Structure 1
Amino acid sequence: MMHRGQAVRGLAAALAAAVALTAAGCSAKAKSGDGSGTGKGGVRAGAGVTDSTISVGALTDMTGVYATLGKSVTQAQQLYVKQTNAAGGICGRQLELTVRDHGYDPQKALAAYTELEPKVVGYTQFIGSPFVAAVKQRIDGQDKGLVLPQAWSASLLGSPYIRVLGSTYDVETINAVDFLVTEKGLKRGDKLGHVYFEGDYGENALLGSEHAAGKAGLTVVEQKIKPTDSDMSAQVAALKQAGVKAIVISAGPRQAASLVGVAAATGLRVPVIGNNSAFAPQLLGTPAGPALEKMYYVASPSLPIGADTPVAKKLVTDYRAAYPKDALDNGIVAGWTAAAVFGEALKKACAAKDLSREGVDKALLTISGHDAGFGMTHDFTDPKAPSSKESAILQPDKSVPGGMRTVRQPSVSEAAKSFTPKTP
């Protein structure tokens, strides 16, 4: 059994080294991180904003553990930018999206952040909870550019500049365990396996499973893994020997496919549920595909790309036209939602005649009921809370667009309602 208190030495050391390398370059920056002045239309402007353009950044993973997610998120945001510009842009200015692929490498992620920071008003994505957490102090203290991360760790809460879209991993996992209890037969006294990445993401999710287990009378059997681990045979063997009746996985798509495939092949046929980033529909074409359709579920901060909503249907049509060779997945939903939220903040900032970083941050704090068209309403007025506590439960299904169907509509479990994420 693994314990979350054990040091995450490799990742922590790499992050510390990367932060140290970038600290000298940013120490002389102005505290506002902005350099604001009045521009076109009497609108206050600053970093990343000219009279003709608004520049935003995307720090993504197209070659690492989340390559599939990163590609879909980025292409959806590029589509949003293209369509917005075709409709006249925002505040009389064209949007520009500058993309950097960090490959889920901590030094590359932080170097890319440092490179783009003076050039953009903020970020429509930043994949990797540990990487966002590593620059949180810089963002809060001096940079102050809005960051909408593709990351859901509760450690990112509490900042007016880093805003989590949807439920944090701990809340999401509580909702996931509730689904196992209410609909998959998990009962008091049972053992619940939890396989999770070391670091911010997995350990925050573990807090959720432990809270839910305490409420439901379950025992959590932990298995900590690294993002570089791909074969889950040892973890499955340990969980089978422990006699678990269900499994939560807080890792990447490849780890989830290995876990479910090995479990099915070795006779551990129990329900498995993953956090929102632990699935990609391309997995349905692998040998693990049949087992995923039978045994696997995903907790999600939105309805899937194949949802029966007007926004979803239009996005499917537009995305297929723009990227005809690429599969549909929920990264498209996540990317589009983040871009749309950032766009809404820019529009409100323009109306207030303040497109400085400070103005955009303040504008987001006024948005209390944003509906991105995928079943969730987001409230950004409280930096200490995620924008929603709801989770939809999805199941892999290769017969539907995007490879996921909804088996439980967005909802908040009773255990999640009473849970307050721990902010730094």
Structure 2
Amino acid sequence: MRYHRLTPAAAVLAVLTLSATACSTKSGTGTDTAGSDGVKTGPGVTETTITLGALTDLTGPYASLGRSIVNAQQLYADQLNASGGVCGRTVRITVKDHGYDVQKAVTAFTETEPNVAALSQVVGSPVVSSLQQEIEAKHLLTLPMAWASSLLGNEYLQVIGSTYDIDMVNGVEFVVRKAKLKPGDKIGHVYFEGEFGENALAGAKYAAKQHRLSIVEQKIKPTDQDLTAQVTALKQAGVKAVLISAGPKQTAALVGTAAAQGFAVPVLSNSPGFAPQLLATPVAPAVEKQLHVVSPAPSFSSDIPAIQKLAKDYKAKYPKALLDSGVIGGWNAIAVLGEDLKAACKAKDLTRDGIAAAHRKQSGLSILGVSHDFSDRAKPSTYESFVHKPSKQAAGGLVNVEPAHAVPAARSYPLPKS
């Protein structure tokens, strides 16, 4: 996950915490009815509104990420409503803060679920995992802000973009070229224990095997911020490059310590390991020199017209907020859900199952310049990854190094079964 600059809590909550619009349905899939316009409706949908839910982190370790996602999704909803909404209905978002606490998230889900048509975001792999069975049981289309391939294969859960492991398969191929690695060379991998890090590690191991490389593993905890021991171990092992699947603080610690030790090998991070705030720290020169980021999404420095429009619109609405990958991730999810709602409206079925069915028919949907196929729930919506490089001068702190692409090994990689 990522850390980003906070925006004032009062302003965020005033703009973004919208009260749920209740409808006369029961919990679960509810009692579906037909509106006066002939459109079937279910939980979260009335004659005038469509209410979505957002279970996010506004006070915990990923608070700044949560705020960026919420801001972007509210921007989309505002623009959608200004153009007439969906089926003549206003789209609203009920935001619940779980502080990255699983128990609080379960409570927030229980309070929110009966009155929403879908979930436009759920922040955190542990949270998503804890809610997975209920999401499926309630037929609630959910777009998690988590990219583990273990979330694939579920009818009502949808990862937007490539997964952590697929990104690493594509990323290792980049590192092989960047560091001019040869069969028999070693690469290090520093990773969080748990779903995120271990999913990324699985992809890295598969890619390393294809290139006849060996992985030197260093497992860490999210609370670890001094990586001197890990960097020393990797240096002594003679690794020629390092992968990291952790948070921005750990990325900063790794790169800063490596630079201090004269260990100037290339470092590649999954997208959650970078935040533009790193470029305002003492390790910024080392970050710009050594780090690359593999990501399922383009950077704000991209010349993709949709990205440039998003940047302009976001800064107009939130002039003091930082452009970061949370903005892109939040927009990606709500834009997909918006297209699902439009398709469900056209089919005159805004029930939960109607929305999910509309989603599964999206097989060539382009969002922010990336084409997605959601028709096969067992596969990522795309196998392609971008490679970025940190830069102080770039919008969002990243410049694009390589466009979205998928190496052959990404498609042959055996995805873990959910």
Of 139, 145, 149 in structure 1, the residue corresponding to residue 135 of structure 2 is 139
Give the 5 Å matches for 1:240-251: 240-251=235-246
The equivalent of 1:335 in structure 2 is: 330
The equivalent of 1:381 in structure 2 is: 375
The equivalent of 2:211 in structure 1 is: 216
Tell whether 2:364 aligns with 1:369.
yes
The equivalent of 2:186 in structure 1 is: 191
CA contact (8 A) 1:192 1:220 kept: yes
Runs of 4+ in 1 over 4 A off after TM superposition: 29-32
Give the 5 Å matches for 1:8-407: 33-140=29-136, 142-374=137-369, 376-407=370-401
TM-fit CA distance, 1:340: 0.5
The equivalent of 2:404 in structure 1 is: 410
AA in 1 matched with 2:79: Q
TM-fit CA distance, 1:76: 0.6
CA, structure 1 residues 413+114, in 2 after alignment: closer, same or farther (shift >3 Å)?
A: same
RMSD after superposition: 1.5
Which segments of 5 or more consecutive residues in structure 1 lack a partner in the other structure? Answer: 1-28
- Cα distance in structure 1, aligned partners of 2:356 and 2:270: 28
- Cα distance in structure 2, aligned partners of 1:369 and 1:109: 33
AA in 2 matched with 1:396: P
CA contact (8 A) 1:305 1:402 kept: yes
TM-fit CA distance, 1:307: 1.2
- Cα distance in structure 2, aligned partners of 1:323 and 1:96: 19
- Cα distance in structure 1, aligned partners of 2:90 and 2:26: 27
SS at match of 1:221: strand
CA contact (8 A) 1:68 1:280 kept: no
**Deviation per residue, 1:127-155 (Å, 9 max, x gap):** 11122122212222x21101111111111
Which segments of 5 or more consecutive residues in structure 2 lack a partner in the other structure? Answer: 1-24
- Cα distance in structure 1, aligned partners of 2:44 and 2:170: 39
- Cα distance in structure 2, aligned partners of 1:239 and 1:124: 40
AA in 2 matched with 1:373: L
With 329-338 and 344-353 compared, the bigger mean Cα shift is at: 329-338
TM-fit CA distance, 1:233: 2.0
- Cα distance in structure 1, aligned partners of 2:262 and 2:337: 46
TM-fit CA distance, 1:156: 0.5
- Cα distance in structure 1, aligned partners of 2:185 and 2:166: 21
SS at match of 1:70: helix
The equivalent of 1:10 in structure 2 is: none
Residue identity over aligned pairs, in percent, reads 51
SS at match of 2:273: coil
- Cα distance in structure 2, aligned partners of 1:392 and 1:134: 30
- Cα distance in structure 2, aligned partners of 1:203 and 1:364: 29
TM-fit CA distance, 1:30: 7.2
The TM-score with structure 1 as length reference comes to 0.90
The TM-score with structure 2 as length reference comes to 0.91
CA contact (8 A) 2:27 2:114 kept: no
AA in 1 matched with 2:337: F
**Deviation per residue, 1:222-253 (Å, 9 max, x gap):** 11112222222222122122221111111111
- Cα distance in structure 1, aligned partners of 2:416 and 2:301: 33
TM-fit CA distance, 1:198: 1.1
TM-fit CA distance, 1:108: 1.9
- Cα distance in structure 2, aligned partners of 1:211 and 1:400: 33
SS at match of 1:267: coil
SS at match of 1:327: coil
CA, structure 1 residues 366+325, in 2 after alignment: closer, same or farther (shift >3 Å)?
A: same
CA, structure 1 residues 40+386, in 2 after alignment: closer, same or farther (shift >3 Å)?
A: farther
TM-fit CA distance, 1:100: 1.8
TM-fit CA distance, 1:31: 8.8
- Cα distance in structure 1, aligned partners of 2:228 and 2:99: 25
- Cα distance in structure 2, aligned partners of 1:227 and 1:33: 36
AA in 1 matched with 2:281: T
CA, structure 1 residues 244+382, in 2 after alignment: closer, same or farther (shift >3 Å)?
A: same
TM-fit CA distance, 1:41: 1.2
